[in-house]
Amino acid sequence: MRAAHLAGLTLLLLVPALLLAQTRGERLGERLRERLAERQTEAAGPAALPAGARVLRDIGYGPDAAQRYDVYAPAGARNLPILVMVHGGAWRTGDKDNPGLATPKAAYWLPRGYVLVVINYRLLPAAAPAVQARDVAAAIAHLQRHASEWGGDPARTVLMGHSAGAHLVALLGADVDALREAGAQRPRAVIALDSAAMNVVQIMQARHFPLYDRAFGDDAQAWTAVSPWHHLSTASLPMLAVCSSRRDDSCAQARGLAQRAQHFGIAIQVLPEDLSHMEINRTLGEASDYTRAVDAYLANAVR
């Protein structure tokens, strides 16, 4: 009996560990598949920009070398809506030149009458997410002031970001005072591509990945300060929250934000996609129902 009891107890202790190992293995396998796909994307070369497109690189919006953005504008652009893209990278890495970030979106949306602006911002450990959000707000204010130089209409700005970048644009969309204080005009909407950090306080109070500790630290007040869920108000921007249905947390976080937004009369649409975290970004601009759904939301926001 005692041996059987010990065997049962051992099994109970092993099952969670085995499940955790399986989950980690699945995530590792997905990351390896994503990296292989990234290399295939790099090998295939960038998507072709439309004829006559202008590319203005490394426009400075602040004194730091990271405070730069690139502009992609179609030939003869004049008073066109502006799609602002913010890269991901766990708040610590990433760049506006990441493979699959800018060029596929420019190739798709420039012929449809948009200007694309892709932003860099300071990263961890030099800049915490709250500082990164202020960088993005400053970049938006700067590009709006200079939009007439490359054919953009600052009154029709839409914010888009992937992963950590999705968290930053969602935060600014929820806390529009931060945009106003930076001198930015009110954007029309936010498109968040697969952020699992919409309620930072909830994340940090539960079991979570170490990357969140590196980004958000252990100060509960700091968690609230960078939590889109906690900044929602009647003044917040409408949002399309795209989420990977392959992840445990992304769609749950998006739906939680949408439910909270209902209390303030703010429309947040959740778009689950059967794509990996990286595919959510990398395949946007390819011919698909996913791209068409985002395009329809964008067109409605800027009309």
Q: 1-15, pLDDT tens digit by residue? A: 555 454 444 444 443
Q: Indicate the SS3 state at residue 156.
A: strand
Across the chain, what does the average pLDDT equal? 89
Task: Say whether domain 50-302 belongs to CATH 3.40.50.1820.
Answer: yes
pLDDT level of residue 153 (50, 70, 90 thresholds)? very high
pLDDT for res 34: 44
Distances from the Cα of 107 to the Cαs of 46, 143, 258, in angstroms?
9, 20, 31
Provide the pLDDT for residue 9: 46
| pLDDT for position 48 | 87
Helices (H), 75-189: 103-109, 129-145, 164-174, 176-182
* pLDDT tens digits for range 110-132: 999 999 999 999 999 999 999 99
Cα four-point dihedral sign 249, 103, 125, 184? negative
Average pLDDT over residues 186-199: 98
What pLDDT is attached to residue 248?
A: 87
Side chain identity at residue 35, one-letter code: R
Domain boundaries, the chain: 1-45, 50-302
Q: What is the pLDDT of residue 188?
A: 98
**268, pLDDT greater than 50:** yes
The whole-number pLDDT of residue 46 equals 53
Beta strand residue intervals within 29-169, DSSP E? 54-60, 68-73, 80-86, 115-119, 152-162
User: Bridge partners of 160?
Assistant: 85, 191
